[in-house]
């Protein structure tokens, strides 16, 4: 398989950096090809602006519309085009980052903001007029894995943990970004307690990461519901009979939804 590894940590000597090194070694040993976007090393610019689309200073910037025009006419900034080319090459995207304020570091959020322009990440329609999103985007057929280092303890991200159940805290990434664009979202790879990790904890995490990479192509993705499969009505609201009247983020995942 072909893997694009997007890595976002300012310190290569960190636990996160060491796991990146380990992960890339493992991919090679497993016979996979990889390419890497080391966002800090690349000095990646995370800020969406008119220069992304070659738009002059006088024109009003409509982000969605201008990004689509620039995508269609190949006028996107070269750094964006380079990332899109890597994504098209890959079978699997790995986003590796430390959890900061319950989300991606800004440099990685801005990789998503800038690279997933209209026409590439969203805004595609089918012949029947329905929008291709949630299972049906341009990236359908590829897989997405979030590999996350977290300072807090595992219990605090459990079903009633104070920080929120991790898969729901990550809903904007797993469902709203991976699944939205068509990527099958794999269950995240998570290392807890990273702020207090020593050599034994690193060895265990490295071993667990290798195990996950061995099954990268066969692991079952999170079973989010497709938009256009009949579960949602014309207002894109889940029909109540599919969730037993329940509400909340869990209803969009077939594993956690409770049918009536």
Query: CB under 8 Å, gap of 24 or more: what pairs does 162-170 form?
Result: 163/102, 164/102, 166/190, 167/222, 167/253, 168/249, 168/250, 169/102, 170/146
- Is residue 221 a contact point for a second copy (CB under 8 A)? no
**Of 29-37, 94-102, 141-149, 202-210, which segment contacts a second copy by CB under 8 A?**
94-102
Burial letters 97-135, b for 16+ CB under 10 A, else e? bbbeeeebbebbbbbbbbbbbbbbbbbbeeeeeeebbbb
Q: How far is the CB of 218 from a second copy (least distance, A)?
A: 28
Of 10 and 217, nearer to a second copy (C-beta) is 10
- Is residue 202 a contact point for a second copy (CB under 8 A)? no
**Of 18-26, 45-53, 77-85, 198-206, which segment contacts a second copy by CB under 8 A?**
45-53
Q: How far is the CB of 230 from a second copy (least distance, A)?
A: 13
For residues 94 and 108, give the distance between their C-alpha atoms in angstroms, rounded to a whole number: 12
Give me the 140-179 binding string for a second copy, x by CB under 8 A, dash otherwise.
-----------x-x-xx-xxxxxxxx--xx-xx--xxx--
**Of 18-26, 39-47, 199-207, 213-221, which segment contacts a second copy by CB under 8 A?**
39-47
Identify the helix (H) or strand (E) that includes residue 109: helix 106-115
- CA dihedral (85, 90, 91, 92) positive or negative: negative
Among 36, 90, 92, 110, binds a second copy (CB under 8 A): 110
* Contact predicate 95/177, CB 8 Å: no
- Is residue 238 a contact point for a second copy (CB under 8 A)? yes
- φ, ψ for residue 122, nearest 5 deg: -160, 175
Measured distance between the N- and C-terminal CA atoms of the chain, rounded to whole angstroms: 40
Of 107 and 209, nearer to a second copy (C-beta) is 107
Binding footprint of a second copy on the chain (CB under 8 A): 10-11, 13-14, 40, 46-50, 60-64, 98, 100-107, 109-110, 112-113, 116, 134, 151, 153, 155-156, 158-165, 168-169, 171-172, 175-177, 195, 227, 232, 235-238, 240, 243, 247-252
């Amino acid at each position: 398989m072909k893997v694009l590894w997007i890595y976002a940590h300012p310190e290569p000597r960190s636990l996160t950096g060491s796991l990146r090194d380990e992960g890339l070694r493992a991919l090679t040993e497993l016979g996979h090809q990889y390419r890497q976007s080391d966002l800090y090393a690349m000095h990646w610019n995370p800020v969406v602006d008119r220069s992304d689309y070659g738009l002059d200073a006088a024109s009003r910037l409509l982000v969605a519309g201008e990004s689509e025009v620039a995508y269609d006419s190949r006028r996107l900034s070269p750094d964006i085009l380079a990332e899109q080319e890597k994504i098209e090459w890959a079978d699997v995207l790995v986003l590796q980052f430390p959890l900061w304020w319950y989300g991606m570091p800004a440099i990685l959020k801005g990789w998503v903001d800038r690279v997933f322009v209209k026409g590439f990440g969203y805004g595609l329609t089918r012949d029947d007029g329905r929008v291709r999103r949630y299972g049906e985007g341009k990236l359908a057929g590829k897989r997405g894995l979030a590999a996350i280092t977290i300072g807090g303890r595992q219990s605090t991200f459990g079903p009633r943990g104070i920080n929120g159940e991790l898969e729901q805290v990550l809903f904007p990434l797993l469902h709203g970004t991976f699944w939205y664009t068509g990527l099958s979202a794999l269950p995240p790879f998570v290392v807890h307690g990273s702020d207090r990790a020593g050599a034994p904890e690193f060895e265990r995490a490295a071993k667990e990461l290798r195990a996950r990479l061995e099954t990268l192509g066969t692991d079952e993705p999170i079973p989010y519901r497709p938009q256009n499969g009949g579960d949602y009505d014309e207002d894109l609201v889940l029909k109540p009979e599919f969730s037993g009247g329940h509400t909340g983020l869990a209803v969009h995942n077939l594993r956690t939804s409770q049918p009536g």
